[in-house]
Every structure is written in C-alpha cells, then in structure tokens.
C-alpha cells in the first residue's frame, strides 16, 4: 500500500488556488514582458534586472513558499486566522493575474493585429 509522504497542509483548497494564481501570475508576467510591458513589483523588477525571467520566477516561488509557511504556522496556533490569511493570499494574487490578463487582452490583440 502507498502511504502519503507529505500532507496537503491545513488549507489544501485555498493553497491550490493560491499556487494556481501564482503560476498564472508568473506566466502572464513573462508574456507581458515579451510584449514590451513592465513588471510593476519593484522587488520582482530588480530580480529581472539581475537574473532575467528565471530569477523573477524563483523570487515568486520563494514568496509562495513563505506565504504557505506563514499560513501553516499561524494556522496551527489559530486555525481561523490561518484560514483568513490563506484566503487573503488567494485574493491578493487575483490582482496581478487580472492586471496581466487585461494587459494581454488589450495590448496582445493590438500587437497581433498590427494596430
């Protein structure tokens, strides 16, 4: 019989959404940069200047790990607060994904149609 090696954490549903949105953020950022856009986050922009897209993706991955770790730590002490933090992380990640999607919808279509 196969045993689970690692737990999905205290809030697996929120974590799945958070990680999905973080991956979408990194992907949309790379596409926006390819179309001539800019990274709005100053720390991620500095990582881009130092190491390009791989450095930015690594920075975002570290940020995801830190947020998940904080949610787990807080959640073990105060479960409701940990859940609120996890939901806040999901909500916060909708902002860059929405902005990146809007940028691509507007400027990607313009570039594709040669306008």
pTM > 0.75: yes
Rounded distance, CA 89 to CA 19, Å? Answer: 10
Q: CB count, 10 Å around CB of 40?
A: 13
pLDDT of residue 112: 66
Half-sphere exposure of 113 (CA within 13 A, CB side): 8
pLDDT of residue 17: 97
Per the listing, tokens 């390819």 go with 34
pLDDT of residue 109: 73
In the chain, domain spans: 12-110
Both tokens of residue 5? Answer: 């090696």
Per the CB < 8 A criterion, the answer to whether 36 and 74 are in contact is no
Q: Quick check: helix, strand or coil at residue 108?
A: helix
Ranges of the chain whose pLDDT falls below 50: 1-2, 5
pLDDT of residue 33: 92
Rounded distance, CA 25 to CA 64, Å? Answer: 11
């Amino acid at each position: 019989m196969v045993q689970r090696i690692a737990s999905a954490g205290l809030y697996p549903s929120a974590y799945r959404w958070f990680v999905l949105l973080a991956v979408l953020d990194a992907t949309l950022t790379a596409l926006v940069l390819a179309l001539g856009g800019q990274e709005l986050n100053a720390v991620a922009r500095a990582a881009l200047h130092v190491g390009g897209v791989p450095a930015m993706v690594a920075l975002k991955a570290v940020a995801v790990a830190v947020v998940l770790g904080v949610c787990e730590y807080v959640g073990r002490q105060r479960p409701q607060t940990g859940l609120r933090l996890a939901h806040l992380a999901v909500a916060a990640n909708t902002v860059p994904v929405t902005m990146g999607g809007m940028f691509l919808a507007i400027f990607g279509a313009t570039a594709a149609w040669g306008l």
